[in-house]
Amino acid sequence: MHLRVNLFEQFWKRRWVHWRVPASSHLRNSRESWYTGIMTIIPSDTITTIHNTPHRLVFEFAGAGSLALYWLHSVPGSSRTVLEATDRYAAASLADLIGRTPEKFVSADTARVMAEFAYRRAMRLTDGATPCLGVACTAAIATDRTKRGPHGCSIAVYDGAQVRTFDLTLAKGARDRAGEEQIISLLIIRAIAVACGVAAPDLELEPSETLDAREETHPDPLTLLLRGDVERVFVGSDGRIHLEGAPPVALLSGSFNPLHAGHEQLAQAAAALLGAPVAFELPVLNADKPPLGYAELERRLEQFRRRYPVVLSRAPLFVQKAQLFPGCTFVIGYDTAIRIIDPRYYGGEAERDAAFAAIAAQGCSFLVAGRVRDGVFRTLADIDMPSLLRPLFRELPERLFRVDLSSTAIRDAYRETASHHAE
């Protein structure tokens, strides 16, 4: 503790020498009063109480908030609270986090999206073993040039069920840069305290300054899916997850562990034939394997971010997928086609035929890609297909798609490459 404070003192002393603060009487904090005050206003009691709660957090901040991070670390026990923190100071860094350039960098909407991604990162790091918070701050404060816009910040804290936002507008000229950093960091600590259910520190504002605090219910779609409260969710290419989305025309389902070139080429070839985009579908349940956890699901979703949208579902079987996605074409491989018409997976031919009748009733069908088997390229024409089922199947021509390696071989090649890189 003593070492940390001394290092902090040295850091701020070096910074303080180079900051040019006008000697105007209307400034609230002089150099001396601010430096003396900064060492005494650490909300230690509040932070100690925060550290004693089970909450773990990921903190994303841009423009201001570094002092709040120092305060959290200056009080013993921060390893029980802080999982990760990132300063998104460059505009490109913030855009990389949220998957797009925001219309307005300092806004409640931007802070809310930052907090959502921070929460998901916290859930990935803990796999949901403890209550998690995503904490975000985006701010504009005094600098070495005159800013036309207002000074202030937008802060959001997301706990997977509710999102709390705090919009603070500061009085220009009432504080120097360090004073504005101080009041914003105090508000960050206050926001975390509120989310943890502990007493929050007071915030002293100028008469002309405003603080708009709001709270709204916003359940985490991934948690709802994994818990079984919803059957599907939609993930945009920007990584954001929505409970509703455009119904897919065609789906390529898989475990995508990993997503590889064969999947991408198959989706592209099927889209060219169908004249419609093919969405990737990742079921969180598998008939033969344990369900995916939050951390593993996030790991697999990361492969699609900034590249493709994804549909997540709780439907491992095609008869279940047909109920969720009526009118959809399911893009499958030769081996899958053989497997799904095998009566042994249904308990008999009658049960199989009933399942395919239910699929047909939803207006769904199958597009089958060929593959090399025993040195020969096999296609739909090589499958002994029952006449009752044949109308539901269509062949993806070899001229549009042919990958001679199996998914297993591709996965093995990926893992071998990854192991070499690790060495």
210 in the same domain as 69: yes
232 in the same domain as 209: no
352 in the same domain as 284: yes
Give me the tens of pLDDT residue by residue for the chain, a chain 423 residues long. Answer: 333 444 444 444 444 333 333 444 444 444 555 455 555 579 999 999 999 999 999 999 999 999 999 999 999 999 999 999 999 999 999 999 999 999 999 999 999 999 999 999 999 999 999 999 999 999 999 998 887 899 999 999 999 999 999 999 999 999 999 999 999 999 999 999 999 999 998 899 999 999 999 999 999 999 999 999 999 999 999 999 999 999 999 999 999 999 999 999 999 999 999 999 999 999 999 988 899 999 999 999 999 999 999 999 999 999 999 999 999 999 999 999 999 999 999 999 999 999 999 999 999 999 999 999 999 999 999 999 999 999 999 999 999 999 987 666 666 666 676 666 566
CATH number at residue 384: 3.40.50
Q: What is the pTM of this model?
A: 0.88
Give yes or no for a cis peptide into 201 (omega within 30° of 0).
no
Domain assignment of residue 81, given as a range: 2-218
Tokens linked to 22? 């006008």
226 in the same domain as 210: no
**How many domains in the chain?**
2
Domain boundary among 218, 242, 277: 218
264 in the same domain as 366: yes
375 in the same domain as 315: yes
